[in-house]
C-alpha cells in the first residue's frame, strides 16, 4: 500500500514548548520483508564567522540527499544545503557577514527521485507554493528539505516564517486517496525540497519551542529521518541551538529550541 502523509495547516503556535509523534497503522507492517536503503551516511558542516564550510563528496548514481539538522544565524545572506549533483554530494553551511551556521546532511541510496523544487516568499499573504515532482515508477515516496535559504538576509526571523512540505488530496470533498506533494514558503522563508522513493513508512514527529529530545521510536534497520518542514527564528550565532533529527543509542530523536519548530518523517 502506498503511504502519503496527510495535509497539515501552515500555522504554528509557540505559546509553549511541545511535540507530537504520529504513526499510521494502516500502512505496511514494520516487519514486512523488504529491502531498506542499501547505504546511508551523515555529514555535519559548520561555517563560523562568515566562512563557509563545504564538503564535496562522491555520490553513487542512485544516491539522494536531504537535511536533518539546522543551527545558527540566517541574518546576513546565507544558506545550508545537502544536495546531489553531477555525481557529487555537497554538504554546505554558508553563513553571511560574521555569522555562524551549521547543517546536518544525509545521503541515502534510493532507487528513484523527482527533481528538486524551491520556493521563496516575503511578507504577509498565503505564501509561495510549488508542486514537487514525484519519483518515476509510482510506489511510496517521501519529500524532504534539501536547502534552507536566506540569500537576502531577511528569512527565518519570526515564528511566522515557515517552509513546509504537504501532501494534499486533489478531491477533498470526495477523497480518493490520490494526493500530490507541495512545498510552501510563508512569511519570510525560502527552501528547496525533493521527493524520493522508499520501501516502508515508519512514523512522523514534530517539535516546537525549547523541547526535546523526543524519541521517534526504536530504529529499524535502514531507517532514516529527515526534515519535512522548518520554522521560526534563526538569529543566534551558535552551532548548538537549532532543530535536528538524529540517531543515538537505539532510537531516532527530534529536538528544537526556543522560537523554532521542525517537522520530521522517518522511512526506510
Q: How far is C-alpha 22 from the geometric centre of its chain's CA atoms?
A: 16
The tens digit of pLDDT for each residue in 14-58 reads: 434 455 544 433 332 222 223 457 667 899 999 999 999 999 999
CA distance 100 to 93: 9
pLDDT value of position 173: 59
Contact present, 204 and 249 (Cβ < 8 Å): no
The residues with which 147 forms a beta bridge, in sequence order, are 81, 192
Owner of C-alpha cell 504554528 = 12
CA distance 254 to 246: 7
pLDDT value of position 171: 66
pLDDT value of position 15: 38
pLDDT value of position 143: 96
Which domains can be identified in the chain, with CATH numbers? Answer: 18-267 (2.60.120)
**What are the strands of the beta sheet with 179-186, ordered from one edge?**
18-22, 201-208, 260-267, 224-233, 157-169, 179-186, 128-131
pTM above 0.95? Answer: no
Please give the torsion angle defined by the CA atoms of residues 195, 204, 54 and 212, in that order, rounded to the nearest 10 degrees: 170
8 contact partners, CB below 8 Å, separation of at least 6:
164, 166, 229, 263
pLDDT value of position 239: 81
pLDDT value of position 211: 82
**Of the candidates 150, 146, 180, the residue with the CA atom closest to the CA atom of residue 166:** 180
pLDDT value of position 169: 79
Write the burial class of residue 27 (CB in 10 Å: 0-12 exposed, 13-18 middle, 19+ buried). middle
**What are the strands of the beta sheet with 63-72, ordered from one edge?**
40-47, 101-109, 63-72, 242-248, 251-256, 211-218
**Of the candidates 180, 184, 68, 66, the residue with the CA atom closest to the CA atom of residue 116:** 66
Contact present, 22 and 196 (Cβ < 8 Å): no
| Distance between start and end Cα atoms, the chain | 15
The tens digit of pLDDT for each residue in 216-235 reads: 999 988 899 999 999 999 99
pLDDT < 70 positions in the chain: 1-36, 38-39, 171-177
Cell (9 digits) for 184: 510552501
Amino acid at each position: 500500500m502506498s503511504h502519503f502523509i496527510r495535509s497539515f495547516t501552515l500555522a504554528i503556535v509557540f505559546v509553549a514548548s511541545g511535540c507530537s509523534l504520529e504513526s499510521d497503522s494502516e500502512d505496511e507492517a514494520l516487519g514486512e520483508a523488504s529491502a531498506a536503503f542499501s547505504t546511508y551516511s551523515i555529514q555535519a558542516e559548520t561555517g563560523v564567522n562568515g566562512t563557509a564550510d563545504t564538503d564535496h563528496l562522491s555520490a553513487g548514481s542512485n544516491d539522494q540527499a536531504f537535511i536533518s539538522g539546522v543551527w545558527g544565524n540566517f541574518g546576513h545572506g546565507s544558506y545550508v544545503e545537502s544536495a546531489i549533483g553531477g555525481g557529487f554530494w555537497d554538504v554546505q553551511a554558508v553563513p553571511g557577514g560574521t555569522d555562524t551556521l551549521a547543517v546536518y546532511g544525509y545521503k541515502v541510496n534510493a532507487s528513484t527521485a523527482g527533481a528538486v523544487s524551491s520556493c521563496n516568499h516575503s511578507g504577509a499573504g498565503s505564501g509561495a507554493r510549488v508542486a514537487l515532482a514525484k519519483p518515476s515508477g509510482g510506489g511510496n515516496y517521501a519529500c524532504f528539505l534539501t536547502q534552507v535559504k536566506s540569500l537576502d538576509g531577511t528569512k527565518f526571523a519570526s515564528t511566522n516564517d515557515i517552509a513546509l512540505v504537504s501532501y494534499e488530496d486533489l478531491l477533498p470533498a470526495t477523497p480518493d486517496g490520490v494526493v500530490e506533494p507541495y512545498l510552501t514558503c510563508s512569511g519570510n522563508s525560502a527552501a528547496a525540497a525533493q521527493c524520493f522513493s522508499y520501501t516502508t513508512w515508519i512514523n512522523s514527529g514534530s517539535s516546537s519551542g525549547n523541547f526535546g529530545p523526543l524519541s521517534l521510536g526504536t530504529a529499524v534497520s535502514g531507517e532514516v529521518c529527515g526534515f519535512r518542514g522548518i520554522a521560526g527564528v534563526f538569529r543566534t550565532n551558535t552551532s548548538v541551538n537549532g532543530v535536528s533529527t538524529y540517531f543515538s543509542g537505539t532510537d531516532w530523536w527530534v529536538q528544537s529550541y526556543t522560537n523554532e519548530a521542525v517537522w520530521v518523517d522517518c522511512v526506510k
